[in-house]
Structure 1
Amino acid sequence: MSQLKRIVKSLLPGIFLFGYTIGTGSVTSMAKAGADYGMTLLWTVFLSCLITFLLIHLYGKFTLVSGETALAAFKKHIHPMVGIFFILTLTAHVSGSVIGVMGIVSNVCFEWSKMYVPGGIAPVYFALFFIGLVYFIFLLGKTGLFEKVLAFIVAIMAISFLMNFFLLRPPLVEIASGMIPKIPDTGPDESAFLVIASMVGTTVFSGLFILRTTLVKEAGWTMAELKTQRKDALFSGFMMFVVSAAIMAAAAGTLHAQALPLLNVSEMIKILEPTAGSFAVAVFTLGIIAAGVSSQFPNTALLPWLLDDYYQRKPDMKRANYRGIVLLISLLGLIVPVFDAPPIAVMITSQAFGALVLPVTVACIIILGNKASLMKDHVFSTALNIVLIAILIFAVIMSYMSYQGIFATLQAL
């Protein structure tokens, strides 16, 4: 038992990041891809998770070697405005994500409640409940407790989506063919570029790598834990791929099989019930709720973490101004249920916006990793630099696709 506890404890930072990544933003992007294109874009998930693993590992290793966190290092060794850039862009990104997350969770719960309550329970009540729950967890103010609570929620989420995958049993041939890189010519709304960009944006999320350095420092890891850090990052990336693939397969086996577009994640409930039964609906709904809560807390708390990182302060979630900031960001979750805004459009655009920040994130780790004064004997090798330059090119392409997709979406409004 003590050995199991040690293993779980060593994986907690990775579980935290996995729970952050596989939120309703990821569910939306993967379900949208599965509904519109079947398993065709599975290669995008695999490549994104591979890149995510590498960047999580490199950012974590940077902190192990240098003892510095990301934004503080950007400010000191690159330029203070680089740190400000990340604070502004990541806050804008997670604000949009908070709006979409709570909109999707409340809508899914509303549809599910119709099975038991005539007319259902209004989405705003579900939104208020989950906003209050996440804010209460934040008020407790301890990172270690956050990680343990999220580990429990993440376990529920992973089990739910994997159970759903086995209940639907998508053909293995389709899954295998999805690993061959290709971009669909058309789709229900001709938005393949935006969907791909949102998949990359929600998986290769810059906030993960910035936050990784804080978690590694908070855990008190040193170079003695280098292998643990790599194993933890690998576990996080592997679970991202497995669960993302399960979500995509669920949408491919239901909506895509019936040529139905995904306009709202709650539509999955209506399709799943006749296809796989009420148990599958309950499992899927539980997974959505767990995904929403697991990503909503890091989303609302990200700005305080970024500020502490930038100013090189010891993280303290109990500061009065931080509680005010988190409350304001949390209340953004009421926008969709109160004003009936389209949660899918908000979420997809928000996740695609994340792809716009990615090239800067990759460029920064290349700069820091090649500073001998910081990395000493662990300065990046030529081979690693070539890989990172390839990732940088990929990130620039994703940013262009994101820009094209967002612009097309805005024109259609």
Structure 2
Amino acid sequence: MNSEQSNSKLNRILKTLGPGILFASCCIGVSHLVQSTRAGADYGFAIVWAILLANIFKYPFFEFGSRYANATGESLLEGYARKGKWVLWMYFILTLGSMFAVTAAVGYVTTGLTANLFQLDLNISSVAAILFAICMLILLIGKFSYLDNIIKVFAIVLLTSTVIAFITTLFHGSVEQSPDFIPKSMWNPSGIAFLIALMGWMPTAVDLSTWNSLWTLARIKQSGYYPKLKETINEFNFAYIITAVLSLCFLTLGAMLMHGSGKSFSNNSVAFANELITLYTTSLGDWSYLIIASAAFATMFSTSLAVIDGYSRALDRTTQLLFLNHDLSKGEIQESRKWYTVWTFINVPISFFVITFFLNNLRALVDLATTLSFLIAPVIAIINYKVILGHNVPEEAKPPIWLRYLAIAGIIFLSGFSLFYVYSKFL
């Protein structure tokens, strides 16, 4: 009997597993591979507080996405619509304002890793075009199941290699500091700009919380199993803890293997990819180069898939709510492959042209995308807080008091740093 219960519990876990892994994949992409490693390389462990605070104070707003979907059977976007169409319009405008920069930033890093791994004798624009075309093909033909299965495999590979590299680095110790090393200041204009960019995608952009709710619903539809609220929250929490721990692992790799050495990351995506992978091989040995390069590429490729899917899925739902006058009393909106396809064909080509504009300045593109994400975060955070406490959410499914207080603290934190950035930048 105990064996049957154990198998039944495992089966429920496996049927629930998916949305959190997709979320983690989005996080491990640019924010961890690029920004956390850069943070460690430039500022060492002095910047660890920013990573910890961003992970803590953003947590409620991502959790609300999973909680709302399970409790109501609809996505956060329907929740926005219930608060008034102006809320949905605000989300729509903010999404369009950041979507192309975000997709381009993720695609650019993936392009560099692709060219590095396969030693492609092509210019970056050509590699980016091929990469985006493959992503579109997978998403438009394969739907959610392909995305779900691909990312689970890729995430396990990078998780394993990162933890091994982290532990090995701890045993080997830090690199020797350069005699003329001068620590960077975190509180000058460039330091503040990087701080905001780092927290903008740490662990990822707050507006991606809508994707959480959409992926939760898609997984329920795919598996045919409607998990208990606790099961959905546990699945998300498991993924969130992994992303938080990995952000510290990447910071440690940058801090111990580059900080004070006199080295810095290149602005060219191919050169950056090589430097990033060399960080791992410095710790693990040259034998690991191909394994690490493959794992890093796999992770960024899965992040590209998740980002393109997330934007298309969210804007498909937003289009139906804004322009097709869907009646919320009729229940959940069915995914429209038509609008999903339309938004994919809008997002990808424009993001490609953004890449060509920032061709030799990876840092500027990533910082632009992450800063935009941070500046819109307080708005999305406030909306999510209002939605999860709405009348359509059952009382027993609403967040506990401690989580509500943490959400309020998070709104203050995000708003405060956004105002601080605007003040330091323009006043």
TM-score, with length taken from structure 1: 0.82
Aligned partner of 2:200 in structure 1 is: 201
| Offset from partner CA, 1:127-154 (integer Å, 9 cap, x none) | 2332232112112242233211211122
Residue 327 of structure 1 aligns to which amino acid in structure 2?
Answer: F
How far, CA to CA, are the matches of 2:173 and 2:406 in structure 1?
31
Deviation at 1:324, TM superposition (A): 4.2
- CA distance 1:75–1:22, change in 2 (3 Å): same
- CA distance 1:275–1:16, change in 2 (3 Å): closer
- CA distance 1:374–1:235, change in 2 (3 Å): closer
Aligned partner of 1:177 in structure 2 is: none
- CA distance 1:91–1:290, change in 2 (3 Å): farther
Aligned partner of 1:69 in structure 2 is: 75
CA contact (8 A) 1:18 1:236 kept: yes
How far, CA to CA, are the matches of 1:16 and 1:389 in structure 2?
26
Aligned partner of 1:227 in structure 2 is: 230
- CA distance 1:156–1:333, change in 2 (3 Å): farther
Q: 1:322 aligns with which of 332, 340, 355?
A: 340
- Between the two proteins, what is the percent identity of the paired residues? 16
Farther off after superposition, 11-20 or 307-316: 307-316
Q: 2:375 aligns with which of 351, 356, 365?
A: 356
Superposed, 1:8-407 pairs within 5 Å as 8-76=14-82, 78-111=83-116, 121-169=122-170, 186=185, 191-202=190-201, 203-220=203-220, 225-264=228-267, 265-266=272-273, 267-269=275-277, 277-310=285-318, 311=321, 313-316=333-336, 318-319=337-338, 322-331=340-349, 332-333=351-352, 335-336=354-355, 340-380=359-399, 382-403=401-422, 407=425
- CA distance 1:189–1:270, change in 2 (3 Å): farther
Farther off after superposition, 29-38 or 297-306: 297-306
Secondary structure in 2 matching 1:374 = coil
Aligned partner of 2:4 in structure 1 is: none
Deviation at 1:348, TM superposition (A): 1.8
Residue 310 of structure 2 aligns to which amino acid in structure 1?
Answer: L
Secondary structure in 1 matching 2:393 = helix
- CA distance 1:138–1:385, change in 2 (3 Å): same
CA RMSD, Structure 1 to Structure 2 (Å): 3.3
Between the two proteins, the alignment pairs up a number of residues equal to: 392
| Offset from partner CA, 1:314-338 (integer Å, 9 cap, x none) | 113x32x533431342232365368
CA contact (8 A) 1:95 1:329 kept: yes
How far, CA to CA, are the matches of 1:272 and 1:372 in structure 2?
50
CA contact (8 A) 1:63 1:217 kept: yes
| Offset from partner CA, 1:293-334 (integer Å, 9 cap, x none) | 122122223333223333263113x32x53343134223236
TM-score, with length taken from structure 2: 0.80
- CA distance 1:60–1:103, change in 2 (3 Å): closer
CA contact (8 A) 2:61 2:407 kept: no
Farther off after superposition, 347-356 or 36-45: 36-45
Aligned partner of 1:180 in structure 2 is: none
Establish whether residue 7 from structure 1 lines up as the match of residue 18 from structure 2. no
CA contact (8 A) 1:87 1:303 kept: no
Aligned partner of 1:181 in structure 2 is: none
Structure 2: state its 5+ residue gaps: 1-6, 176-182, 327-332
CA contact (8 A) 1:99 1:333 kept: yes
CA contact (8 A) 2:16 2:227 kept: no
Farther off after superposition, 8-17 or 298-307: 298-307
- CA distance 1:7–1:162, change in 2 (3 Å): same
- CA distance 1:100–1:402, change in 2 (3 Å): farther
Residue 84 of structure 1 aligns to which amino acid in structure 2?
Answer: W
Structure 1: state its 5+ residue gaps: 175-183
| Offset from partner CA, 1:219-278 (integer Å, 9 cap, x none) | 339985111111111111111012222222222122214032334433334666566543
How far, CA to CA, are the matches of 2:58 and 2:100 in structure 1?
22
Residue 49 of structure 1 aligns to which amino acid in structure 2?
Answer: N
- CA distance 1:383–1:49, change in 2 (3 Å): closer
CA contact (8 A) 1:336 1:342 kept: no
Deviation at 1:346, TM superposition (A): 0.4
CA contact (8 A) 1:25 1:97 kept: no
- CA distance 1:126–1:61, change in 2 (3 Å): same
Deviation at 1:399, TM superposition (A): 2.0
How far, CA to CA, are the matches of 2:377 and 2:161 in structure 1?
30
Secondary structure in 2 matching 1:169 = helix
How far, CA to CA, are the matches of 1:334 and 1:292 in structure 2?
19
